[in-house]
Amino acid sequence: MRGPHNIWRLVRTGATLERTGAMTLVLDAFDAPPSLRLAARALGWPFKWLGYKGDESQPPATRALSALGPAYIKFGQVLSTRPDVVGDELAAQLSVLQDKLPPFSREVAIATIKKELEIDVDDVFSSFSEPVAAASIAQVHRATLRQTGGDVAVKVLRPGIERAFRKDVDAFYLAARLIDMLHPAARRLRPLEVIKHFEGVVLGELDLRMETSSSAEFAANTERDEGFRVPRSEWFLSSRRVMTLDWAEGIPANDIPAIEAAGHDRKALGERVLTLFLRHALRDGFFHADMHQGNLKIARNGDVIALDFGIMGRLDEYTRRVYAEILFGFIRKDYRRVAEVHFEAGYVPADRDVDEFARALRAVGEPIFGMDATHISMGRLLNYLFEVTERFGMETRTELILLQRTMVVVEGVSRSLHPQINIWSVAQPIVEDYIKENIGPKALIRDMTRTARVLSRFGPKLPHLAEAALMRESEPRNAKLPPLWPLLALSGWAGAVSAALIILVASSF
């Protein structure tokens, strides 16, 4: 959807920022250079009268993004948890963005269901309510299945929302390219990669089949987690624009008076929310990445019920180990090890001084750990950590954006339930258990076993691979092919060690 409309959308964006008074705040937050300020003003000031007025009762940034629509609201929510990028003042304003819009009619929802599922709604549901919740992308109705009598939640996408999001995301790409061109120093933040990541998240939310799949996978991973529940998916009543789940009855996690009146242990609930998030992120590498109070309910028996699986985070095994080691190092105040992990993972350029980096990390950790335990904040630690790593040349890790965002949100939920929660004492056993299972001799044996298993699949091809490698080795040196003897030797060594480990493990049973 490249075209002139992108420029027009940026002009409208600049005009709205000017009209709402948010332009200066945004430019200061990003420490924009004169060239970028000039370009932004050129897009905004002359066309100020074209900008949306917004709700004058809101702070400038919140007012502007709310007026600009769903994609801007979503993007603002992502940036709200990155004060290291946008500054504390702007992050504070963005944190109050509400993902709520006026509902569309029940009749439109029914027509969408009928078209998507190719069913007569009255034949499937004995009742179908007016909207019970309306967000920027979709809204939810409560319905009763005619065949079983069970209550379900039916989520339906807004009409035309896919096209509206694609137009705005396309304009975001243009803005990122302009920033790259006019402010080279901002490349460390990888604006294009951030937008690409954001696009992937949003496109996932716009296909409810993906959300249905995510809910099913999340339910399978967590079915044995005590005190936690994920509503069951109704696959045959779900499609690209419709999703159906079992209805979850419970108290919203932000209704503290009702939670107290029901007799729930707020301390246990606060600790459980944090524990569950860390376990899902580290154990499964698949976690709920929009775990705010509006997406959590407390069941009558005290179980935490998760809702809305449009934004899920996924971490590969190596990243999980790095994240666990960094947290574990801070818990033990082993700043040297935290520094080494950053270098080993390639997060900090190899030409920097590891001892100097460890000293900077100590300056991050000690003031926080010197506070009263109930005021220690993992979110504050992450913010300070990014300030330090920026000085040492660490680039934005887009795969960690959702993890960072969710960690701050989950901490806020836990503190709202139990203000005196000691974040580190709750996190320590989860992290230690993961370290024991995944870093050390036990993990090495498991890794080598997997390596041997992979190598064994290439058994029939090994003679051909070896012959091809020898032929390449015999070619003239100017063929620009690297020598493969070291690679063959390494592969052979790895295979031999893996085989030996498998024999040792097998003989122990």
DSSP 211-251: HHHHHHHHHHHHTT-TTEE-PPB-GGG--SSEEEEE----E
Mean pLDDT of 360-381: 73
Secondary element (H or E) of residue 245: strand 242-246
**Lowest-pLDDT choice from 25-34, 143-152, 228-237, 440-449:** 440-449
- In Å, how far are 48, 93, 349, 407, 416 from 81, measured between CA atoms? 29, 11, 25, 9, 17
Pairwise CA distance, residues 498 & 327, whole Å: 30
| pLDDT for the residue numbered 165 | 87
d(CA 56, CA 231): 39
Compute the chain's Rg from CA coordinates: 26
pLDDT confidence band for 385 (50 / 70 / 90): confident
| Residue 183, amino acid | H
Whether residue 404 contacts residue 81, with contact meaning beta carbons closer than 8 Å, is answered with yes
Does the pTM exceed 0.95?
A: no
- Tokens for 250? 């419970």
Predicted confidence at residue 501, as pLDDT, reads: 46
Q: Could you count the other beta carbons within 10 Å of the beta carbon of residue 137? A: 23
Structure tokens at 460: 């029939």
pLDDT at 349 over 80: yes
Among 207-221, 376-390, 471-485, top mean pLDDT goes to 207-221
pLDDT tens-digit series, residues 142-160: 999 999 999 999 999 999 8
Tokens found for residue 418: 């139990």
Strand ranges in 22-150 using DSSP code E only, listed in sequence order: 125-134, 138-145
For helices 4-20 and 34-44, angle between their N-to-C axes, nearest 10 degrees: 90
Tokens (6 digits) for 314: 């996924």
Contact 10, 171 (CB under 8 A): yes
Confidence (pLDDT) at 332: 84
Taking phi over 0 as left and psi of -120 to 50 as alpha, with beta for the rest, 460 belongs to alpha
Is the per-residue pLDDT at 381 higher than 80?
no
- What is residue 336's predicted lDDT score, i.e. its pLDDT? 92
Q: Which of 290, 334, 351, 433 is catalytic?
A: 290
Q: E strands within 104-187?
A: 125-134, 138-145, 151-157
pLDDT tops 50 at residue 468: yes
Q: How confident is the model at residue 259 (pLDDT cuts 50, 70, 90)?
A: very high
Q: Which amino acid is at 468?
A: A
Two tokens at 294? 């509006």
Report the DSSP pairing between strands 151-157 and 242-246. antiparallel
Mean pLDDT of the chain: 80
266 or 183, higher pLDDT = 266
- Alpha carbon distance 269, 447 (integer Å): 36
Flag the least confident range among 126-140, 349-363, 444-458: 444-458
* pLDDT at residue 491 in the model: 47
Convert the pLDDT of each residue in 79-124 to its tens digit. Answer: 765 565 666 677 777 766 766 778 999 999 999 999 999 999 999 9
Q: Which domains does the chain have, with CATH numbers?
A: 4-98+163-203 (no CATH), 100-159+207-247 (3.30.200.20), 248-439 (no CATH), 442-507 (no CATH)
Token pair, residue 239, equals 């499609």
* Of the listed ranges 9-23, 261-275, 355-369, 440-454, the one predicted with least confidence: 440-454
What does the pLDDT read at residue 273? 95
- Looking at residue 175, what is its pLDDT? 80
Signed CA dihedral, 433, 434, 435, 438: sign only: positive
Residue with tokens 């929510």: 77
Tokens 């624009």, located at residue: 241
**Longest CA span, the chain:** 81
Structure confidence at residue 183 (pLDDT):
64
Q: Give the integer Cα–Cα distance in Å for 321 and 443.
A: 11
Q: Report, as an integer, the average pLDDT of 133-139.
A: 87
Query: pLDDT-derived band of residue 197, with 50, 70 and 90 as boundaries?
Result: confident
Q: Tell me the percentage of the chain whose pLDDT exceeds 90.
A: 31
| CA 121/CA 118 separation, integer angstroms | 9
| 508 CB-contact burial (10 Å; exposed 0-12 / middle 13-18 / buried 19+) | exposed
Q: How confident is the model at residue 281 (pLDDT cuts 50, 70, 90)?
A: very high
372, two tokens:
């009263």
Q: What per-residue confidence (pLDDT) applies to 77? A: 73
Find tokens 């959590």 and name the residue. Answer: 296
Contact indicator for 161, 137 with CB cutoff of 8 Å: yes
Q: What pLDDT shows up at residue 274?
A: 93
- The pLDDT of residue 224 is 93
Average pLDDT in the 3-25 region? 79
> Distance between CA atoms of 13 and 271, rounded to whole angstroms?
41
- Give, in order, the Cα–Cα distances in Å from 144 to each of 247, 300, 324: 9, 21, 44
Q: What is the structure's pLDDT at 78?
A: 67
Helix (H) or strand (E) holding 505: helix 485-507
What does the pLDDT average to over 268-295? 92
Pairing between β-strand 151-157 and β-strand 251-252 as defined by DSSP bridges? unpaired
Binned at pLDDT 50, 70 and 90, residue 474 comes out as low
114-120: long-range pairs with CB below 8 Å, 24+: 116/239, 116/240, 116/241, 116/242, 117/237, 117/239, 117/242
290 catalytic per annotation: yes
What pLDDT band is residue 496 in, cutting at 50, 70 and 90? very low
Tell me phi and psi for residue 72, to 5 degrees: -70, -35
* pLDDT at 488 exceeding the cut of 70: no
Confidence bin at 196 (pLDDT 50/70/90):
confident
359 compared with 164, residue with greater pLDDT: 359
At residue 404, does pLDDT exceed 80? no
The pLDDT, as a whole number, for residue 85 is 61
Q: What is the token pair recorded at 125? A: 């549901």
% of the chain with per-residue pLDDT over 70: 78
